[in-house]
Amino acid sequence: MTVIKLSSGVNSTMVLIRSFLIIVFWLSIPVYASLPTTPLRVAVAANFAPVLEKLLPQFTQQSQIPVQIISGASGTLYLQINHGAPFDVFLSADDSRPKKLQADNLTLTNTLETYAYGQLALWSAVDKLSLAKLSKIIKNNRLAISNPNTAPYGKAAKETLETLKLWQHVQNKLITGININQTFQQVRSQAVNFGLVANSQLVLNQLTGTVIPSEYHQPIRQQLVILKSSKQQTNAIKFSQFLLSDKIQQQIQQLGYALNLDKKKNNNEQLK
């Protein structure tokens, strides 16, 4: 398994070009030479990359299909796909970008699926927190969130603060990360004392925060698509089926994600 991490300046042409060149460079290097096939190239949102790394050995052992992970902000990966980046599968942190790719006829038919529901959590590396304390905390402290304009977890953080009627009061207190991974590192390093991060980051690092109630923000529905340009569509379908299998869905939930409501709904409909 090879992992490539990209910079995430969605609005920067230079970052887009640089990250695209990084992809081309790395994709030219042989990966898993001992395996008979070209690696499946999976573009994955930053929040899910560590979870995917944990799950992938099961897929590789089961299928003998090598996988190359390219992780970055969903917005950056989306732009790269639109510019012809040679990915096979796209795992976004939201549902809007996969649907846009589908609308633009860039995806394989009937491959749009929800693979996870994200959970937001309030966390500090220096103090135990509760939502009840948040209004008092932000009076004298900065708060880290990811960019609400480009990062799905940042959008959920903004919606949470609006629900708590705190958004207008925290404008000059916010430290905005380019993606949820940067926000987590800002809090973990104690550069910022408090932050709204992905619950999966806490679970993976054996940390505990306060999970934000799902009704405080719009669902963080994380969807995947298989790209029409993929030369490995059969392997990509096998990968999608692996992620959506009951066994792996249970593991994803244990790693800090909410119950996949879309899959539960589909299962119930099949039983009717």
Q: What is the structure's pLDDT at 15? A: 53
Q: What is the pLDDT of residues 175-219, one digit of tens each?
A: 999 889 999 999 999 999 999 999 999 999 999 999 999 999 999
Q: Compute the chain's Rg from CA coordinates.
A: 19
Element (H, E) at 195: strand 194-198
Reply yes or no on whether the pLDDT at 128 is more than 90. no
Question: pTM score > 0.75 for this model?
Answer: yes
Convert the pLDDT of each residue in 24-64 to its tens digit.
555 555 444 445 468 999 999 989 999 999 999 999 999 99
- What is the distance between the alpha carbons of residues 258 and 116, in angstroms, rounded to a whole number? 7
Cβ contact 66:72 at 8 Å? no
